Structure 1
C-alpha cells in the first residue's frame, strides 16, 4: 500500500484542489499529526475516513473535525486501499478540498426500528438546504451498519427521496469477525444506523460498477428461508449447507469464506444477475447471507470470469485518468482475488487509476444492495466528461 500519497502533489497534470489520499497504520503513535499535516494544505470541506476495526474512529474524527473545520464522515472496514493494494490495520483518509467540493450529511438512525418516515424527513431536509449550484454536480455517499440487515430498505429509501442523484456506498465492516461495526460523523457515533452524505463538486462524475460472475449450471430453489435473518434453511428441499456443498463438489465441513467467495449464489432481478453472498454456515446447517433472501427465490451458482481485466476494460472506457475513484469493494471479492494470487495486479490497477476506499460487507448503488461487486465513482476533470 502506498502511504502518505497526496494525489494532487504527485500528479501535476491535475488542477489544483484535487482530492488528497492518505494511508497510515492505525497503530502509528503520530497518526493524528500525520493526518492533520497531510490534509491541512488542501483546506478540505470534507474528510472521508475508512479504518480497520479497533481504531478509535470517534476520537479521530472529532480531532480532525476540530483541527480542520471539515465534515468528517467514515466507518470501520473489512480492509482498506489507497491508490495501491489491499491492506489491513490502516486508516485511509480522503480529503475533498473546499475549492472543489461542498458537503453535508445526516444520520439515519434506529435501522432495526424501520423508521422510514423519520429517515425521509431527514433526507428531504438535507436536500432542501443543499440547493444545486450551476455547472456543478451532486452525488450521495451512503454508509450503513453492515450488521444491521437493513441495507436493502435503507438504500431503497434513499433512492426514493434522492432518485435523481447518483448514490453509492458500502456497508461498514469488522474484518471477518462480523461482531461490531462503527460509523462516525464529526466525532459522533451511533449503533444500528446509517449516514447519508451529500456532495457538490465541479468534477464530472461517472459510476464504475463491476462484478465478475455469470450464472453456471442448473437453477436452485430456496424451499425454506427466514428473510428477516437473511437465512436459507433449505435449497431444493435439502438442508441448505449440504445441498450447496454438493452442488459445488465439496464436503460441508470444507465450507469457509474463501469457498463462498469463489462460489457465490446469484439471483436475477431486473434482467440482471446480482450476487447473494454467503456469510457463514449456521450450527444447524443453514446458510446466512449478506443480502436479503426469501422462500421461493430461484438461484444460480456463479462462475468467476476474469477478476481484473474486465474491470480494467471498464476503467479504460472512462476516456481519461480520474482525479480519484472513490470505491467500495466487497470483502469476498477481495478474498477471491487473493486466492487467485492477483494482489500485484490489483495494486497496479488501483495505483494506475487512483482508486481509494474500503472493503465492505455489501455495496449500494442505484437504490439496491449487492455483494461481491466493485462500486466506484470516478471524479473526472470536466474536459474528460462525455
Structure 2
C-alpha cells in the first residue's frame, strides 16, 4: 500500500480508483484506502491481473488518482445487479446525470465520459451497460468486469470503504483534458460455424453445439481433443458473432465437468458462432495506441481494460515482454478483465479504454 501511495506522489485528489489482486484482504484494503486517502472517494474492483507502470502483473495493487485540477468525478455503487440490474443502474445513471447537467439539458459529450466497473460473475453486464448508455444520452462509456484471477469463484467491488459482490461502480467524469474512448481487437473469422442448439441462457452455459456435446464439438472444430481444452486454447481460438456488419467475441470462460461450456458473455439458443483466429496482437494493439497518440498530440495516460484471454494469448505466443514494453511506452494502466464495456456493448477479448492527452495551456 505504501509503495502504491508513494508512486502517486503528493497531490490534491478528486477520486482514487484501485485495481487489486484477490490475494488482498478486501475488507482490510477498503478500510486502509479510506484511511490513507481521507475525504477522497475511492472506487475499485478485484482483477484477473493488473497493468501498472512496469507492465502486466498478478496479485498487485494499482492506484489511479484523478486530480481535482482538471477533473470532477461523480460515483455511485449499484447493488443487486443480478436481480435488479436495469432498475438500479438506470436510477444511478439518472442521479449522476443531475450532478453533471442539472435540469433537462443533454450531457456535454465533448468533456464527459462514463466509467463502469462491474462484477464479472454477475451475468448482468449486458443489461446494465445498455441501460446506462441509454440513460446517459449516448455519452461514451468504457469499463471492465472484475475478476479473481482465473478461479471464477468470487469477485469484489469497493466504494468509499464498502465492499460488495453482485455490484457495480458507475463514475461520471468531467475533464478539461482531451480524451479518446477506444477499443481494439485482434481476431479474424474463419469459415467454421457452430450453432448453439441447447443452452442454459440465464447462467451463460452452452450444452450443445451443432446438436453435439459442446466441448467435444468445439474441440473438433479447432483440431484438439476435449481433454486438451483450457484457457490457452480458448484464447487462441475465440468464438465470435456478427452484429451490424462487425464481429464481436463471445469468449469461453471454462469447460464444465459435464462437457458443457461456460461463457463470459450472454448466449442464446440459435446463436451462430464463427470460430476465429487471432491476428498479431502486438501489431494491432500498437497500431491503435499509435493512432490515439497522433490524435491527442501525445498520450499522457491510458486507463485500459484488457481481457484476461488477451494476456493468455500473449503468453502462449511468448510475446508478453513485448506487450509490457508497449504498455509502458504509452502509459497503459488498468487491469485484466472478465469482459470489457464499450458504449452500449459488453465485449470479450478486446482492449477497451480511455486515452488522455495533455491539457491545453490557458
CA distance in 2, matches of 1:240, 1:35: 44
Partner of 2:321: 344
- 1:64 Cα deviation from its structure 2 partner: 2.9
- 2:354 equivalent in structure 1: 377
For the 8 Å contact 1:76–1:173, the answer to whether it is kept is yes
Deviation of the 1:59 alpha carbon: 3.0
Is residue 360 of structure 2 the alignment partner of residue 360 of structure 1? no
1:118, distance to aligned residue in structure 2 (A): 3.2
Distance in 2, matches of 1:52 and 1:382, equals 32
Q: Identify which of 37, 54, 65 aligns with 1:84.
A: 54
Q: In 2, Cα distance between the equivalents of 1:180 and 1:232?
A: 22
In 2, Cα distance between equivalents of 1:52 and 1:247: 35
Q: Report matched runs for 1:25-36 at 5 Å.
A: 31=1, 33-36=2-5
Distance 1:129 1:208 in 2: 25
User: Which 5+ residue runs of structure 1 have no aligned equivalent?
Assistant: 1-30
CA contact (8 A) 1:103 1:199 kept: yes
Say which SS state the counterpart of residue 285 (structure 1) adopts.
Answer: coil
CA distance in 2, matches of 1:186, 1:302: 41
Contact 1:143 1:195 in 2 (8 A): yes
| 8 Å Cα contact 2:109-2:140 kept in structure 1 | no
Query: Greater CA deviation, 135-144 or 74-83?
Result: 135-144
Instruction: For residue 125 of structure 1, report the CA deviation from its aligned partner.
Output: 1.1
Which deviations, in whole Å up to 9, do the C-alpha atoms of 1:63-103 show, x marking residues without a partner?
33344322111000000011332101210111111112111
- Secondary structure of 1:301's counterpart equals strand
Q: 1:45 aligns with which of 14, 22, 30?
A: 14
DSSP 3-state at the match of 1:70: coil
1:47 and 1:221, CA in 2 relative to 1: closer, same or farther beyond 3 A? Answer: same
Q: Secondary structure at the match of 1:112?
A: helix
Which residue is equivalent to 2:44? Answer: 74
Aligned equivalent of 1:268? 242
Q: Tell me the residue number matched to 1:108.
A: 78
Alignment match of 1:324 (pick from 301, 304, 322): 301
Q: Secondary structure at the match of 1:174?
A: coil
Q: Is the 8 A contact 1:135 1:202 kept in 2?
A: no
Mapped to 2, the partners of 1:136 and 1:178 lie a distance apart of 37
Map of 1:220 onto structure 2: 194
Using structure 2 for the length normalisation, give the TM-score.
0.93
Task: Kindly report structure 1 stretches of 4+ aligned residues shifted beyond 4 Å.
Answer: 132-136
Q: How many angstroms apart in 1 are the aligned matches of 2:108 and 2:129?
A: 27
Contact 2:192 2:221 in 1 (8 A): no
Aligned residues: 353
Is the CA contact (8 Å cut-off) linking 2:47 and 2:146 kept in structure 1?
A: yes
TM-score normalised to structure 1 length:
0.87
Are positions 1:142 and 2:116 aligned together? Answer: yes
Q: Counterparts of 1:152-171 in structure 2 under 5 Å?
A: 152-171=126-145
Name the CA distance, whole Å, in 2 between partners of 1:329 and 1:151. 16
**Runs of 5+ unmatched residues, structure 2:** none
- Structure 1 distance, partners of 2:310, 2:237, is 11
Do structure 1's residue 123 and structure 2's residue 97 form an aligned pair?
A: no
Contact 2:55 2:324 (C-alpha < 8 Å) held by counterparts:
yes
Report the alpha carbon displacement of residue 136 of structure 1 after superposing the two structures with TM: 7.2
**Shift in Å at residue 366 of structure 1?**
1.2
Equivalence map 1:276-287=2 (5 Å): 276-287=250-261
Is the Cα–Cα contact under 8 Å of residues 204 and 263 in structure 2 kept in the other structure? yes
Of stretches 80-89 and 45-54 in structure 1, the one that deviates more from structure 2 is 80-89
- Aligned-partner SS, 2:162: coil
The answer as to whether partners of 2:81 and 2:88 remain within 8 angstroms in 1 is no
1:41 alignment partner, SS class: coil
- Matched with 2:312 is 335
Q: 1:219-251: per-residue Cα shift (whole Å, max 9, x none)?
A: 221111111111111111111111101111111
The 3-state SS of whatever aligns with 2:326 is: helix
Contact 1:169 1:363 in 2 (8 A): yes
User: Deviation of residue 214 (structure 1)?
Assistant: 1.0
